[in-house]
């Protein structure tokens, strides 16, 4: 894999540096539910400060707002960065997606971001699959370098690209189903088994959209409504009562998935098995987290929600590589060159 040039080769003394990090953290009622992505972004910021940068402007998107939207303001993230870094040279810009030019990779917005800056460092691995103004546009305006996290991710995830130890098991779930079907179609063919749970399993219930066999839940926890305290019932996957959405894997499925994961030599997990933010529907996701932690092979977990689940299950120190990328890690594993990476010279 082609590695982009590292921020470690840049002379940043006295420079104003624009850093694109992925600070798109999960929020609960406006509070940061998991700050993994913020912490993972600190080494690059500290490197720039230690290197004598005059100013470090950190930018990121948060959520999927379609313009200015108070619910996705960067304030809580900015406060956490200040708490963790405590250096007046660092600022966190407002949510890049508050500007409608961002997702269109509008050069006008890229120039706005680049204005007054000498260098650009892209450390946002989680957003490297997006060709946006802050991930690609600015790299065409300012001298561009890769951040430490971005490089680390490429090196570790790269291990899944070549020959892997088998069985290679992929576990997929989560809510952003439309993002994942196409990617899984490419990636799943390289795996020995693809286990699908959560919302994704609900969406493929009507028929397998893939050109390979997938392992689906045999039982699910169904709920009377999409609510945290809904009435629940364990039912067969193919016998949900009318109007009862499936909320997560049932007990038999948890055990089946855990056995398959335990037998693997390489595991890649992206996307929770259900609405694990609600305690009544967390066990299916936590069971996968514990199984991945217990697997003796090379294990990779990617995506904000799965990473949060791994932390909440208390097993993060037993995962080989926790990726800050969800969609980005999927697209990398699909064999695509990520636009955010391609925009940085080697």
Query: Which residues carry out catalysis?
Result: 37, 176, 304, 327
Q: Rounded to whole angstroms, how far apart are CA atoms 77 and 91? A: 11
Q: Which residues of 110-126 are buried (b: 16+ CB within 10 A; e: fewer)?
A: beebbeebbbbbbbbbb
Q: Which of 121, 109, 154, 101 is nearest to 47 (CA)?
A: 121
- Please tell me whether residue 71 binds ligand 3PG under the rule CB under 6 A: no
Nearest one of 163, 201, 170 to 186, comparing CA atoms: 170
Q: CB nearer to ligand 3PG: give 126 or 188.
A: 126
| Of residues 116, 114, 144, the one with CA closest to residue 54 | 116
How many Å apart are CA 146 and CA 141, to the nearest integer? Answer: 15
Residue 126 lies near ligand 3PG (rule: CB under 6 A):
yes
In angstroms, rounded to a whole number, what is the distance separating the alpha carbons of residues 308 and 156?
A: 19
Q: Please, which of residues 288-307 interact with ligand 3PG by CB under 6 A?
A: 304
Report the residue from 327, 329, 333, 344 that binds ligand 3PG according to the rule CB under 6 A.
327
- Interatomic CA distance for residues 269 and 326, integer angstroms: 10
Question: Whose CB is nearest to Mg ion?
Answer: 327
**Residue selected from 28, 54, 64, 231 as contacting ligand 3PG according to rule CB under 6 A:** 64
Say how many residues make up the chain.
346
Work out how close the CB of 327 gets to ligand 3PG at its nearest, in angstroms, rounded to a whole number.
5
Answer yes or no: are the C-beta atoms of 298 and 319 closer than 8 Å: no
> Could you say whether residue 327 binds Mg ion (CB under 5 A)?
yes
Site track for ligand 3PG across 22-61, x = CB under 6 A: x-x-------------------------------------
Judged by beta carbon, residue 114 or residue 196, the one nearer Mg ion is: 196
CA angle 4, 6, 12 (to 5 degrees): 135
Q: Does 272 help bind ligand 3PG (rule: CB under 6 A)?
A: no
Q: Which span (104-112, 125-133, 207-215, 288-296) binds ligand 3PG, by CB under 6 A?
A: 125-133
Bridging pattern class, strands 246-249 and 232-236: unpaired
Count CB neighbours of 345 within 10 A. 11
* Choices 166-174, 202-210, 281-289, 326-334 (CB under 5 A): range interacting with Mg ion: 326-334
Note whether 326 binds Mg ion by CB under 5 A.
Answer: yes
CA distance 278 to 24: 21
Q: For residues 297 and 326, which CB has a smaller minimum distance to Mg ion in the complex?
A: 326
Total site size for ligand 3PG, rule CB under 6 A: 9
- Write out the residues near Mg ion by the rule CB under 5 A: 326-327
- Write out the residues near ligand 3PG by the rule CB under 6 A: 22, 24, 64, 126-127, 130, 304, 326-327
């Amino acid at each position: 894999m082609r590695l982009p040039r590292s921020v470690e080769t840049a002379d940043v003394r006295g420079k104003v540096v624009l850093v694109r990090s992925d600070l798109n953290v999960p929020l609960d009622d406006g509070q940061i539910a998991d700050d993994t992505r913020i912490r993972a972004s600190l080494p690059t910021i500290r490197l720039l400060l230690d290197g004598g940068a005059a100013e470090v402007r950190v930018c990121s998107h948060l959520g999927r707002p379609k313009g200015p939207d108070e619910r996705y303001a960067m304030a809580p993230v900015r406060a956490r960065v200040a708490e963790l870094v405590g250096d007046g040279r660092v600022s966190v810009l407002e949510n890049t997606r508050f500007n409608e030019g961002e997702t269109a990779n509008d050069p006008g917005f890229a120039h706005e971001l680049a204005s007054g800056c000498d260098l650009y460092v892209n450390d946002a691995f989680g957003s490297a699959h997006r060709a946006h103004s802050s991930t690609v546009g600015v790299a065409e305006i300012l001298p561009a370098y890769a951040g430490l996290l971005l490089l680390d991710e490429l090196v570790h995830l790269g291990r899944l690209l070549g020959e892997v130890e088998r069985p290679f098991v992929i576990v997929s779930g989560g809510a952003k189903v439309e993002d994942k079907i196409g990617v899984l179609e490419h990636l799943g063919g390289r795996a020995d088994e693809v286990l699908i749970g959560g919302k994704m399993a609900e969406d493929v219930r009507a028929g397998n959209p893939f050109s390979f066999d997938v392992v689906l839940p045999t039982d699910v926890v169904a709920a009377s409504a999409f609510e945290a305290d809904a009435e629940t019932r364990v039912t067969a996957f193919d016998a949900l009562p009318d109007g009862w959405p499936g909320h997560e894997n049932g007990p038999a499925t948890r055990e089946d998935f855990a056995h398959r994961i335990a037998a693997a030599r390489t595991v890649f997990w992206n996307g929770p098995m259900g609405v694990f933010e609600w305690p009544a529907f967390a066990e299916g996701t936590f069971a996968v987290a514990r199984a991945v932690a217990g697997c003796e092979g090379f294990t990779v977990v990617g995506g904000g929600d799965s990473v949060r689940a791994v932390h909440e299950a208390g097993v993060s120190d037993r995962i080989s590589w926790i990726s800050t990328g969800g969609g980005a890690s999927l697209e990398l594993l699909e064999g695509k060159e990520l636009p955010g990476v391609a925009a940085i010279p080697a």
